[in-house]
Amino acid sequence: MEIYHNPRCGKSREALKLLTEKGIEPDIKQYLKEIPTHAELEDVIKKLGISPEELIRKNEKVFKELYKGKKLSDSQWIEAMIAEPKLIERPILINGDKAVVGRPPEKVLEII
Q: DSSP letter string over 24-37?
A: --PEEE-TTTSPPP
| Number of residues written out for the chain | 112
Q: What angle do CA 81, 92, 71 make, to 5 degrees?
A: 35
Residue ranges of the chain with per-residue pLDDT less than 50: none
The pLDDT, as a whole number, for residue 108 is 97
pTM: 0.95
Query: What does the pLDDT read at residue 59?
Result: 96
Check residue 75 and give its pLDDT: 98
CATH number for position 48: 3.40.30.10
* pLDDT one-digit tens code per residue, 47-60: 999 999 999 999 99
Mapped onto helix, strand or coil, the DSSP state of residue 95 is strand
Active centre residues (catalytic): 9
pLDDT value for 61: 97
Q: What's residue 11's pLDDT? A: 96
- Which phi and psi angles does 106 have, rounded to 5°? -60, -20
pLDDT value of residue 58: 97
Cβ distance 76 to 51 under 8 Å? no
pLDDT of residue 51: 98
pLDDT at 83: 98
Domain ranges, residue 19: 2-111
Residue 11: CA atoms inside 13 Å, Cβ hemisphere, count? 14
Going by their DSSP bridges, the two strands 2-4 and 27-29 should be labelled as parallel
Beta bridge partners of 105: none
Structural domains counted in the chain: 1
